[in-house]
Structure 1
Amino acid sequence: MSSIDLSQYEADVAAAEAEVARIREENARLAEDYRLDPSADAHEILRRGAASLAAARDRLEAARVALKLAQTTGSAHGLLAKDGRVTGSVAVAVPPGTSSGERARIVEEALGAELTRVAREIGVVLAAPAERYTRERPGRDAEGRTILDVAGHVEGDVLMPAVTRSAKNARRG
């Protein structure tokens, strides 16, 4: 992969880091305002700030994973295993109006073999179907595909999904 291609991934990481720093500064000001006026409205603003920071951190982690994938595989999508964790992403074509069963089949087809291979590489087995390891990113890629972030962590000799059901539902809603 050329350095020109990597420069976009590096720029994405830098932009995500800057956004996290900006939101942290803004949240520090909001926290100070809340200490001075602990009203319900101020608390709600502080809560939204925390949610914004969490979303920005998620985007930063996704940008870092994409950069690492680009460096190691030459692609923006794939899986990485390190320190008992599996992270990565996969792009899938999910037509509008697809049922949840059909969606699960599409994800299994696109991700199942690769996830199983990575699990075997680190000496564990999967604890759940491939779809349980995914969380949908907002929007679509340039080709109109749905991007799914993939996350898992090792517990004993099993790879457990590291994506909570509530996080998945929040993204879809």
Structure 2
Amino acid sequence: MSSIDLSQYEADIAAAEAEVTRIREENAQVAEEHRGDRSADAHEVLRRGAASLAAARERLEAARVALKLALKTGSPHGLLAQEGVVSGSVAVAIPPGTPSGERARIVEAAVAAELTGVARELGVVLAAPADRYTRERPGRDAEGRTILDVAGHVEGDVLMPAVSRAARNARRG
């Protein structure tokens, strides 16, 4: 992997860290403005601030995982297992208009072997079919492939999906 590619990952991390810092500062200011205010409107403003901070933290973690994957695999796609958590992404060629049953088979074939290998590395087994661990990103990559984020966490001796059903179905409409 060239240093130009790595510098882009590092720039993505720096931008995500700056965004987290900015949102924290904004949230602190909003919290101070609404201190003692128990109205529903104040609660909603604070809830939105917390949600935006959580989303920014997720983007920061995704940028860190992308850098680790690039260092490990030389590709922006792959799976990482660390501290009982599996995260990463897989690029899959899914033709437009593919029926849902065929789509599930394509995703299963693309994700199953890699996910099973990571589960074995953690000393656990999969709790669900491989496609249950995925969430589709909007759009396609430069090669026209669908990008699937993959997430799971260890509970006992089982790797559980860490993607909600609502998140999985959000892009499939």
- Report the TM-score, using the length of structure 2 for normalisation: 0.88
For residues 18-74 of structure 1, give each alpha carbon's deviation from its aligned partner in whole angstroms, at most 9, with x where no partner exists: 111111111111212222544333332222222211111111111110000001110
Residue 159 of structure 1: aligned partner: 159
Runs of 4+ residues deviating >4 angstroms: 169-173
Residue 58 of structure 2: aligned partner: 58
Q: Amino acid of the residue matched to residue 69 of structure 1?
A: L
Residue 118 of structure 1: aligned partner: 118
Structure 2 matches for 1:13-162, cutoff 5 A?
13-35=13-35, 37-162=37-162
Q: Amino acid of the residue matched to residue 11 of structure 1?
A: A
* Distance change >3 Å, CA 121–CA 46, structure 1 → 2: same
Q: Supply the distance in 2 between the matched residues of 1:152 and 1:47 (Cα, whole angstroms).
A: 26
Q: Amino acid of the residue matched to residue 73 of structure 1?
A: T
* Fraction of identical pairs, as percent: 84
Task: Report if aligned partners of 1:89, 1:149 keep a CA contact under 8 Å in 2.
Answer: yes
Secondary structure of the residue aligned to 2:26 is helix
**Which runs of no fewer than 5 residues in structure 1 stay unpaired?**
none
Q: What number of residue pairs does the alignment pair up?
A: 173
Q: Supply the distance in 1 between the matched residues of 2:165 and 2:83 (Cα, whole angstroms).
A: 24
* Distance change >3 Å, CA 98–CA 32, structure 1 → 2: farther
For residues 96-139 of structure 1, give each alpha carbon's deviation from its aligned partner in whole angstroms, at most 9, with x where no partner exists: 44443233222112111111111122221111011111122333
Q: Supply the distance in 1 between the matched residues of 2:128 and 2:164 (Cα, whole angstroms).
A: 13
* Distance change >3 Å, CA 143–CA 36, structure 1 → 2: farther
User: Shift of residue 170 of structure 1?
Assistant: 5.2
- Report the TM-score, using the length of structure 1 for normalisation: 0.88
Secondary structure of the residue aligned to 1:132 is helix
Q: Amino acid of the residue matched to residue 110 of structure 1?
A: A
Q: Supply the distance in 2 between the matched residues of 1:62 and 1:138 (Cα, whole angstroms).
A: 15
* Distance change >3 Å, CA 118–CA 33, structure 1 → 2: same
Task: Report if aligned partners of 1:94, 1:103 keep a CA contact under 8 Å in 2.
Answer: yes
